[in-house]
Structure 1
């Protein structure tokens, strides 16, 4: 089953305008995550404007139907962080429940978890 990485493309860290005028940290991070996920059969990416985690930018949602879903944030928009997000999402895709044992987490994603959401019920 596919795991989706939803990247907030409007996230701005404190000094974003001085570092890359006119380009948000979220846009930079989205490009890095998209490049890291390129060619993956288990992981797909999409962008969304504002995940409402502004105090913790850059924000990502890791989601799959019928599994635990996660929000991660407070990333530097770096290649290392992007690879960690994709690495974790790949492990999420391989997991039946979406839960990944801590010892398997990529180092660069540790300390970045914000929330965990249970899967939606199959029926109403």
Structure 2
């Protein structure tokens, strides 16, 4: 089953205004995540403008139908963080429930969890 990585492309880390950049930190992070996820069948990426976690920039959501869903934040855009997010999303895609043991989490995402959401109820 597909797991989605939703990246906030409007996130800005503290001090963003003082840097000479044409992209937000969220846009830069989204590019890194998209590159890390390229070619993965079980993981898809998308961007949204604002996940409303500004105090925890940069933010991503890991989501799959019928599974626990997660919001992660407080990342500095880096290859290591992007690869950790994709690795976690791949494990999420393989899991029936979306739950993975802590010992299996990539080091790059530990300490970045903001919220966990239960799956939506089945309407049928």
**Under TM normalisation by the shorter chain, which class is it?**
over 0.9
TM-score, scaled to structure 2: 0.97
Gaps of 5+ in 1: none
Aligned partner of 2:66 in structure 1 is: 66
Q: How does 1:1-124 map to 2 (within 5 A)?
A: 1-123=1-123
SS of residue in 1 equivalent to 2:100:
coil
Q: 2-side partners of 1:20 and 1:36: how far apart?
A: 25
TM normalised by structure 1 equals 0.97
CA positional deviation for 1:20: 4.3
How many angstroms apart in 2 are the aligned matches of 1:55 and 1:37? 26
The total of aligned residue pairs comes to: 124
CA distance in 2, matches of 1:20, 1:80: 23
Gaps of 5+ in 2: none
Farther off after superposition, 35-44 or 8-17: 8-17
Report how far residue 15 of structure 1 moved: 1.7
Point out 4+ residue stretches in structure 1 off by more than 6 angstroms: none
Note the alpha carbon deviations across 1:55-88, whole angstroms, 9 max, x for none. 0000000000000000000000000000000000
